[in-house]
Structure 1
Amino acid sequence: MLNVVAWTRLEPWRVARARTDRDETVIVKWTGPHVDGRHSEAWRLCTEVAALRFLSEDLGADLAPRVLAEDLGVGLAPRVPAEDRPGGRIVLEELPGGRIVLEDLAPRIALDGLLRRDGADAHLERLTAAARARGELGALTAGRAEPYYRRRAALGPVDAEADRLGRVARLRAEGVPQAEVLGAPVTGAVEHELASALEVLADPGPFLVLSNGDPEANNVLVHADGPPDARLIDFEFAGFTHALHDAVCLYVPGPAWMSVGTPAAAAQREPADAYRRALAAGVPEAEDERRYGTALAAACVAFALARLWRLSVLDARPAGDDSRAQLVAVLEAAARTAEAWRALPRLAGWCRRLADALRRRWPDADVDLAAPAPYTPRRS
């Protein structure tokens, strides 16, 4: 019998590190509300289990933690593969309900904590390893959507089309209307180019790969010293989508950051180049400069415009709140990326017009956004 005898919650997440009676540590995750309300708690837990088991059991990959046991609250008994836990089982009854038990990847720690503590220059090797791991995930899973969705459907309903079109749908529903509020409606040549860009993302072709749904630095674990040996975590929103969505965070700052560097900065190209090389090992089309650049620009613009949903929220924030300048930075970084790849010029110009409109709307956000070092944290 393998019993969990002690566990410590890892704030602020619904995660705990537990110790068994064999003096082994495991990670326990349980369900709870999420700021992204598109999916139920049960849906997210089933998705994480399906994605992690797909990677480790179906593909033999070690890019993410293994699932050791699960209690999904849908009539499935917790189970542990015999080869992993001979003669034993994990007892979950005293842990919060609706939960999974995962391999503990310690002593790896979250990459974002290292970046906040030391800055990007000190961790370029780890940033590069994280980007490479994302690219490897895409290369490994390209062309394998059907077996993944068979596994996922066995745990409950899933919509593969919604996974593929998620960011495109959010842009249409939230970004485009807010652009009109800012006085930059989608018309004429911009409208035509936007439709073309969204078509690229909606029909990925060979670029259809598995993503964990949130490729930011907080969802990558690395060793703080020595070889990074990166692992990807948090697959609650996993699904097959266009691979270049996972590259956006290398060019455009996500919610936690004011800057992630620019394509013109030589050192910052290392992570981006590592991602592309790793992806190309399974998706040779990634070596096509024009095709890759267009898809990357489309993904960056889609991410930036989808973030416009926050307009009314940020209007209510006090002057000087970092979130306002951060939204400007996101739009300008998307435009800069498209320009660097000589792709989607009208959308790049549209993003710049939207950023200028925000600078006028919020004079406190009309600041020099070239000043923050890469991976400068957003303060609020």
Structure 2
Amino acid sequence: MINVVEWTRLEPWRVARARTDRGESVIVKWTGPHADGRHTEEWRLRTELGALRFLTEDLRVDLAPRVFGEDLLAGRIILEDLAPRVALDGLLRRDGVFAHAVRLEAFARARGELGAVTAGQAELYYRRRERLGQVDPEADRLGRVARLRREGLSQAKVLGVPITGAVEREFALALAELAEPGPFLTLSNGDPETNNALVCADGPPDARLIDFEFAGFTHALHDAVCLHVPGPAWMQVSTNAGAAGSEPLPQVGEVYRRALAVGVPQAEDERLYGMALAAACVAFALVRLWRLQILDRRTAGDDSRAQLVSTVEAAASTAREHHALPQLTGLCQRLAEVLRRRWPDTDVDTAALAPYTPRLR
């Protein structure tokens, strides 16, 4: 039994650093409302508990915090304190990407390792998770694919970009790839961004992944998207040569791929990997496009508009680089062009920005 005698809340999250009656530092996490209302607070807590115990106790890997205790009736769990590690996104915002290239590489490797060690282990995970309460493996696997099937191309029509039969057929192929991962079925924490990676600011990065509230087995390449296409926090993430001057940066997409291939050898197949990565990136960009009406109401110069353009263009660029999904590549490029005309304030060369340039507004 772990008794917490004092604690300090880590704003703005439902997390506190606490001290036990034995003088140990731990992390206490509790439930509360979440912007993503797909699941109840109880479901999210049980999912995090199940995923962390699966990784640390069943698979015995050091990629996430250990669970020291739980009180599901009270809605809280007690976790290993991973200090002195800090969130990678904070370091990138504070110092820029060049100061933390080795930590960014460690982040990409950890994400690939998560896929590698969990490939083929879905049955083991869901046996553990089902002991904590009802769960739907199919819903985890499909993720956003179900909604994409219904309305994935709807915003293109709003923007007046015609959808040809060739585009529709290729879109169906992309969704089929994501819905049926085959050997690429691996565990994701559900939010694979740099804010959910903790690294040491000095010395070896020793990366760990956190926040498994929305964990589930899904297509591994969903976790690679954040290395190619900017998520909500960033204007640009590409570390390709020439993207940000002459200083070398690790090709984090390839770092992820090599780590994943240790457990998923199919990741070494250029055609298979390129198709899956392109599908995941385009799917992410189309989901972000659903924010069109919200961004229309923003004032001119709001970074979120240029960030959306950058997202769509990055998805097209990734698909083009991997010689995959030419029809969807063309669609994304046309969407970006229409957005730039719709919002003249987005006439910014986001490809010239340093990787991990933050979105300010």
TM-score band (shorter)?
over 0.9
Match of 2:338 in 1: 357
Cα deviation for residue 263 of structure 1 reads 4.0
**Distance change (3 Å), C-alpha of 1:65 and 1:261:** same
Task: Give secondary structure in 1 for the equivalent of 2:235.
Answer: coil
Identity value in percent: 75
Give how far 1:169 is off: 2.3
**Letter aligned with residue 338 of structure 1:** A
Name the SS for the 2:299 alignment partner.
Answer: coil
Cα displacement string for residues 227-250 of structure 1 (whole angstroms, at most 9, x for unaligned residues): 000000000000000111100000
C-alpha spacing 1:226/1:337, structure 2 compared with 1 (3 Å): same
Cα distance per residue 1:95-142 (max 9 Å; x no partner): xx4111100000000000000011111111001101101111100000
Report the equivalent of 2:187: 210
What is the Cα deviation at residue 325 of structure 1?
Answer: 0.5
Note if 1:228 corresponds to 2:228.
no
TM-superposed deviation, 1:177: 1.4
Q: Secondary structure of 2:17's partner?
A: strand
SS in 2 for 1:349: helix
Do the aligned partners of residues 189 and 251 (structure 1) sit closer, same or farther apart at CA in structure 2, a change above 3 Å counting?
Answer: same
Task: Give the secondary structure class of the aligned counterpart of 1:101.
Answer: strand
RMSD: 1.3
Alignment of 1:1-380 (within 5 A): 2-73=2-73, 97-265=74-242, 267-380=248-361
Tell me the CA shift for residue 3 of structure 1: 2.2
Q: 2-side partners of 1:16 and 1:279: how far apart? A: 33
Count of residue correspondences:
357
Query: Is contact 1:175–1:308 with CA below 8 Å preserved after alignment?
Result: no
In structure 1, list runs of 5 or more residues that go unmatched. 74-96
Alignment TM-score, normalising by the size of structure 2 = 0.96
Give the whole-Å Cα distance in 2 for the aligned partners of 1:181 and 1:47: 37
Deviation of 1:5 after TM superposition, in Å, equals: 1.1
**Alpha-carbon distance in structure 2 between the residues aligned to 1:269 and 1:229:** 17
SS at match of 2:5: strand
Question: What code does the residue aligned with 1:54 have?
Answer: F
* Contact 1:128-1:272 within 8 A present in 2 as well: no
Distance 1:297 1:158, change over 3 A: same
Q: 1:151 to 1:329 in 2, by over 3 A?
A: same
Q: Give the residue type in structure 2 aligned to 1:299.
A: A
CA distance change for structure 1 residues 256 and 237 in 2, over 3 Å: closer, same or farther?
A: same
Give SS of 2:144's match.
Answer: helix
- 2: distance between equivalents of 1:238 and 1:119? 29
TM-score, normalised relative to structure 1: 0.91
Name the aligned partner's letter for residue 210 of structure 1: L
